[in-house]
Every structure is written in structure tokens, then in C-alpha cells.
Amino acid sequence: MSDTHIRKHGRAGQITLTRPRALNALTYDMCMAIEAALDAWRDDVTVDLVILDAEGEKAFCAGGDIAEIYRAGLSGDFDAGRDFWRDEYRMNAKLADYPKPIVSFLHGFVMGGGVGLGGHVSHRVIGESAQIAMPECGIGFVPDVGGSLLLARAPGRLGAYLGLTAARMGPGDALHAGFADLFVPEARWEALKSELAETGSVSALDAAAGPAPESPLAAAQGEIDTLFASDSLPEIKAALDAAEGEIAARAAKAVGRNAPLSMAVTLAMLARLREGTPDIRRALEQEYRVSHRIVEEGDFLEGVRAQIIDKDRNPSWRFPIEEVTEDRIAAMLASLGEAELAL
């Protein structure tokens, strides 16, 4: 059975992830199938909108399936990851720039690649079970799939907080941070999808929406803005270590656990995106510079080993905070020349 169920449903094109036992983790083939469907429906007059959803109760999509990239990297093959990310990022850009409405239904775990799939489209519906996060710094990577753009656009310093700590957002937090657009109780979803497909119009969304749940992040915005005010990782760590309270304590634990190089590069990425008017292409191009290098030159292999393969949760990062210099950060974000991401 395919890992995606792609079909026309009334006036809608519908893409359903059908890999619930793997938390609908995205494989390369799934990305290519989704892109092909988007290309086919772009000029199809029988398709007025696109619906993105997923089977299973636990996850819309918990991220990219990176085990194959890990195995290839161990053998010295760094092109496997580069090819995956290049083509996935192209799909992310198409989702963000699509000329027809795309409605994503975000439930359960929505992490990493799941944010790239459902987080850039025109209408992002979130349900009560959603847990959204960008957890890449915990595996020696950086927020990618355009996630750096969402983090850069988040209110105040929430982007730095979410990117460095990999904190999970419930539906209220996701709405506050700009990772979703409207809350609809999940019991109403199937009827809503049927109405969208029948009418080919997104007008039913506002009528179905319920009041936004409370956002703990909104309540903590001032404290987070103070703790994460700097674009310097050592300064953030010092602020967290000196502060009192539950938020600071949880954040300090996460910053002390995650990969220093990844966190420092993430801060630099977000700072660059906040300059001028950021867009999805600029974010993806910057992310690809890092992903092109991260398997060979960063902590990706060790992070995946510790968190996903061996699951000992005890990574030995290549660079401690004091060795993550400005030159090292700049090198990760430097132009790739002819290998730059072409969108």
C-alpha cells in the first residue's frame, strides 16, 4: 500500500498521509508523490482547492524519515541527505506559493517535516490534540523545511525560544506563534472536509471555527522575550542560568542538552531572516546551506544516533558552546556556489 492516498474528492484534490504506524513520517517517495499531485492539480480546472490530512490518531506528520540519511552518512555518502532535502524544500516552496487554496488539518504530532508540509499553506486548521514543534537542535540539525521562516515571524523572541528548546505548542500556542490559522474541534473535521470538497470553496472554514484555546506562550511572552533577548547563545545561556522560575529552568535544561553548533546557527539564521522582508525561498535557501554541510561537518550523525537509533539520549556533541565561534557559524551559512538551492 502507498504511504499517501492521493485522489480527487468532489471539487478538491486530497492528499492523505497513510503511514500512521510511523507517525506519518515523510519519506523521499512521499515528498515526490505530493509534489507530483500539486503539479498535476495546479492547472486542473476540476480542482478548486487542496486538502492535506493524515490517517491515525497520533500524528499529522512527526517529521522526515531520516534513518536512511543517517545510514548513508555513516558510510560517507553525504549526497543522499542533500538530495532529500533539496527536493523536499522544493515541495515546501510549492506549497507556500500554490495558486489555489490549500487547507491542512493539523492533529497530534506536527514536527519538523510535518510543519514544512502543513505549516506554510494558505489555510491551516488545528485541532485540540495538536503538538507542534521544531525539534531539530536536539538531533544536531537546525529548524528547516521553511520552519525558520515561521520562527523568525513569531511574536517577540518566541522564535528563538521555540527553535533552541524544541518546546511543543498546543493549539492555542500554535495560533499565537503563527503556526496555524484557526481552531476547529476535531469532531467537526470530516463534515468540514466534505463541505470543502463539495463546494470547492474555503468559505466554510470561518463558520466551523471555534474560539481559540488559551495560550501559555502568550501569557509568558514577556518573560521569554527577556530570557531570549540576545542573538548570542552564550548570553542566552547565561540569562537562563541566572533566572528563576519554571520557564527558565525548563529552557536552561533544553539549551544545556541540545547541540551548541545547531543552536548558534539557528540564532544566526533567524537574525538574518528578520532583516528586510523574509520569504519562504530565502529561508529555504539558507536552510539548505546548512543541511548541505551538517551531516559531514556538524552534529547530525551523532544527534540522530543518540535520539533515534541507539536512543541513549546521551549525545557527544562535536563542539561545546565555547568552541562555536562566529567564523564557524558563518561557514555553515556561507554560499554553496553552484550547489545553491535552485527553486
Using only C-alpha atoms, the chain has a radius of gyration, in whole angstroms, of: 19
> Measuring CA to CA, which residue among 225, 126, 250 is closest to residue 178?
126
Q: 216, 137 in Cβ contact below 8 A?
A: no
* 108 bridge partner residues: 59
Alpha-carbon distance 7 to 16, whole Å?
9
pTM for the whole thing? 0.97
CATH number at residue 60: 3.90.226.10
Q: Report the pLDDT value the prediction gives residue 276, as an integer from 0 to 100.
A: 81
Q: 63, 111 in Cβ contact below 8 A?
A: yes
Alpha-carbon distance 259 to 142, whole Å?
9
> Measuring CA to CA, which residue among 234, 229, 302, 235 is closest to residue 270?
229
Q: Report the pLDDT value the prediction gives residue 277, as an integer from 0 to 100.
A: 85
Phi, psi dihedrals of residue 315, rounded to the nearest 5°: -70, 150
* 183 bridge partner residues: 126
Measure Cα distances from 328 to 195, 233, 323, 333, 338 in Å: 52, 13, 9, 9, 21
Q: What would the grid cell of residue 116 be?
A: 514544512
Alpha-carbon distance 227 to 254, whole Å?
14
- Compute the C-alpha angle 133/316/70, nearest 5°: 65
Q: 289, 296 in Cβ contact below 8 A?
A: no
Q: 166, 137 in Cβ contact below 8 A?
A: yes
Helix (H) or strand (E) run with residue 189 in it: helix 189-199
pLDDT single digits (tens) 113-165: 999 999 999 999 999 999 999 999 999 999 999 999 999 999 999 999 999 99
Measure Cα distances from 263 to 6, 20, 105, 307 in Å: 37, 30, 30, 17
Q: Which sequence positions are flagged as catalytic?
A: 64, 113, 136, 144
- Report strand pairing: 123-126 vs 182-183: parallel
Q: Give per-residue burial for 152-162: e unless 16+ CB within 10 Å, then b.
A: bbbebbbbbbb
What's the domain range around 248?
4-339
Q: Report the pLDDT value the prediction gives residue 1, as an integer from 0 to 100.
A: 57
pLDDT single digits (tens) 81-120: 999 999 999 999 999 999 999 999 999 999 999 999 999 9
DSSP three-state, residue 340: coil
Please state the domain count of the chain. 1
DSSP three-state, residue 162: helix
pLDDT along the chain (343 residues), means of 10: 91 98 96 98 98 98 92 94 97 98 98 98 98 98 98 98 98 98 97 98 95 96 98 98 96 98 98 91 97 96 95 95 96 97 93
DSSP three-state, residue 278: coil
Q: Report the pLDDT value the prediction gives residue 2, as an integer from 0 to 100.
A: 84
